[in-house]
């Protein structure tokens, strides 16, 4: 329900309240050129101006790992030929079953019409990431190409969140390539598995923090982000997060912390729609201190304890 989510946020902005959100992923870069996003950006921009407040969408992906982090790394470049960011995650421990098994289509037959598998959906959601990378480097993208691949399981297996039957989708890969002057310059690659040994020829994460053994073998939940910059110098960066030896939980805590840490900068910004390019460096200022109690863990909240999180509050892949 992205349009309904936008309506909710419009009401908040008109009431004079700043908004920091991980909802509606394309809003991570409101100035992306595709006109079809105007149904989201126009009412939000008008409401922000009317309310005299600011609106900022962020998270971990999108919002940091595949846009802000690569741009920071380019600050030590002499020449940049291309930028590639790859998410490599095992989604077996991701706690939102509706996102994993329905919206993404894991555990479904390959011909199942999963929302995330429809042509153009990945471009609509994550295309703004490429445009933000280009804008941050002072260039523009001519066109974006999208590719989607799905691989079925050759045998049945269980995961911490459900069952994957033989013949159903167990790995998927979605890739966006942004061209500048006819050259593939910016690449965003999402490589997602339900078991580590499926699609072995696809990019694999080089893990430094072993995931906790949950008793499901290679349905482990491990993952990280990789940034590859070709140029002078060429660079490789593996960005790994974990909380309680759980990479998925670590990424989700990082995404929510990114939102919280951005609040002071957003409140100090001029009214309107913001991207990371409009804000100063967001750090963990004031966080070098002990924090009592356990870390937040959405796995502790089961359906029935409250409204189940859905695609309106967080779109699959935006681990916030």
Q: Taking Cα atoms as reference points, which of 20, 25, 24, 29 lies closest to residue 1? A: 24
Which residue bears the tokens 């309107």? Answer: 272
SS3 content of the chain, % helix, strand, coil (to 5): 30, 25, 45
Q: What is the pLDDT of residues 282-299, one digit of tens each?
A: 999 999 988 887 767 655
Q: Taking Cα atoms as reference points, which of 307, 314, 311 lies closest to residue 114? A: 311
Q: What is the pLDDT of residues 156-179, one digit of tens each?
A: 999 999 999 999 999 999 999 999
Residue 312 has pLDDT above 60, yes or no: no
Q: Taking Cα atoms as reference points, which of 223, 255, 252, 137 lies closest to residue 185? A: 137
Which of 34-38, 41-45, 236-240 comes out lowest in average pLDDT?
A: 34-38
Residues 13 and 8: their CA atoms lie apart, in Å, by 9
pLDDT band at 37 (very low <50, low <70, confident <90, very high): confident
Residues 205 and 89: their CA atoms lie apart, in Å, by 8
**113-120, long-range: CB < 8 A, 24+ apart:** 114/169, 115/311, 116/174, 116/316, 117/148, 117/150, 117/172, 119/146, 119/148, 120/146
Q: What is the pLDDT of residues 218-256, one digit of tens each?
A: 999 999 999 999 999 999 999 999 998 999 999 999 999
Residues 301 and 319: their CA atoms lie apart, in Å, by 16
Tokens of 241: 């997060």
More confident residue, 293 or 155: 155
Tokens of 301: 């909240």
Scored b (16 or more CB within 10 A) or e, 254-293 reads bbbbbbebbeebbeebebbbbbbebbeebeeeeeeeeeee
């Amino acid at each position: 329900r992205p349009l309904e989510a936008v309506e909710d946020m419009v009401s908040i902005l008109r009431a004079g309240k700043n908004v920091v959100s991980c909802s509606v992923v394309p809003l991570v870069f409101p100035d992306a050129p595709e006109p079809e996003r105007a149904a989201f950006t126009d009412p939000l921009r008008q409401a922000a101006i009317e309310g005299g407040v600011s609106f900022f969408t962020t998270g971990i992906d999108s919002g940091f790992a595949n846009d802000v982090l690569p741009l920071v790394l380019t600050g030590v470049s002499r020449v940049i030929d291309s930028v590639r960011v790859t998410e490599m995650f095992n989604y077996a421990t991701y706690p939102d079953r509706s996102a994993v098994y329905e919206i993404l289509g894991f555990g479904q037959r390959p011909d199942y019409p999963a929302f995330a598998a429809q042509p153009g959906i990945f471009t609509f959601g994550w295309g703004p990431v490429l445009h933000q990378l280009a804008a941050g480097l002072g260039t523009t993208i001519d066109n974006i190409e999208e590719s989607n691949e799905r691989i079925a399981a050759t045998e049945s297996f269980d995961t911490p969140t459900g069952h994957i039957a033989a013949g159903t989708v167990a790995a998927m890969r979605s890739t966006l390539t942004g061209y500048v002057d006819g050259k593939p310059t910016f690449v965003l690659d999402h490589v997602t598995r339900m078991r580590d040994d499926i699609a072995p020829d696809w990019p694999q994460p080089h893990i430094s923090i072993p995931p906790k053994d949950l008793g499901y073998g290679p349905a482990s939940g491990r993952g990280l982000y990789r940034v590859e910059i070709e140029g002078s110098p060429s660079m490789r960066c593996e960005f790994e997060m974990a909380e309680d030896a759980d990479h998925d939980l670590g990424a989700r805590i990082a995404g929510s912390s990114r939102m919280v840490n951005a609040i002071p900068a957003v409140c100090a910004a001029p009214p309107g729609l913001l991207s990371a390019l409009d804000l100063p460096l967001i750090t963990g200022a004031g966080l070098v201190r002990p924090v009592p109690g356990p870390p937040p863990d959405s796995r502790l909240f089961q359906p029935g304890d409250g409204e189940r999180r859905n695609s309106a509050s967080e779109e699959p892949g935006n681990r916030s």
